[in-house]
Amino acid sequence: MMNEKVRALLNQQINKELYSAYLYLDFSNYFEERGLDGFANWYYIQAQEERDHAMLFYRYLLNNNEKVTLEAIAKPDKVLDSDMTVLKAGLEHEEYVTSLINDIYAAAYDVKDFRTMQFLDWFVKEQGEEEENANDLITKMELFGSDPKSLYMLNSELGARVYTAPSLVL
Question: Which residues, at least 6 apart from 59, have a Cβ–Cβ distance to it below 8 Å?
Answer: 170
For position 97 contacting ligand FEO by CB under 6 A, the verdict is yes
* Distance in Å from the first CA to the final CA of the chain: 19
Specify the residue, 21 or 141, whose C-beta has the smaller distance to ligand FEO: 21
CA 140 to chain CA centroid, Å, is 20
Query: Mapped to the 3 state alphabet, what secondary structure does the chain carry?
Result: CCCHHHHHHHHHHHHHHHHHHHHHHHHHHHHHHHCCHHHHHHHHHHHHHHHHHHHHHHHHHHHCCCCCCCCCCCCCCCCCCCHHHHHHHHHHHHHHHHHHHHHHHHHHHHCCCHHHHHHHHHHHHHHHHHHHHHHHHHHHHHHHCCCHHHHHHHHHHHHCCCCCCCCCCC
For position 9 contacting ligand FEO by CB under 6 A, the verdict is no
Judged by CB under 6 A, how many residues of this single chain contact ligand FEO?
A: 7
At its nearest, how many Å lie between ligand FEO and the CB of residue 119? 14
At its nearest, how many Å lie between ligand FEO and the CB of residue 7? 19
Specify the residue, 96 or 114, whose C-beta has the smaller distance to ligand FEO: 96
For position 17 contacting ligand FEO by CB under 6 A, the verdict is yes
For position 91 contacting ligand FEO by CB under 6 A, the verdict is no
- Of residues 19, 58, 94, 104, which one binds ligand FEO by CB under 6 A? 94
Residues 111-140, interacting with ligand FEO (CB under 6 A)? 130
For position 26 contacting ligand FEO by CB under 6 A, the verdict is no
- Of residues 50, 76, 91, 141, which one binds ligand FEO by CB under 6 A? 50
Specify the residue, 73 or 153, whose C-beta has the smaller distance to ligand FEO: 73
- Of residues 11, 20, 28, 155, which one binds ligand FEO by CB under 6 A? 20
> Do 90 and 134 form a contact (C-beta atoms < 8 A)?
yes
Contact positions vs ligand FEO (CB under 6 A): 17, 20, 50, 53, 94, 97, 130
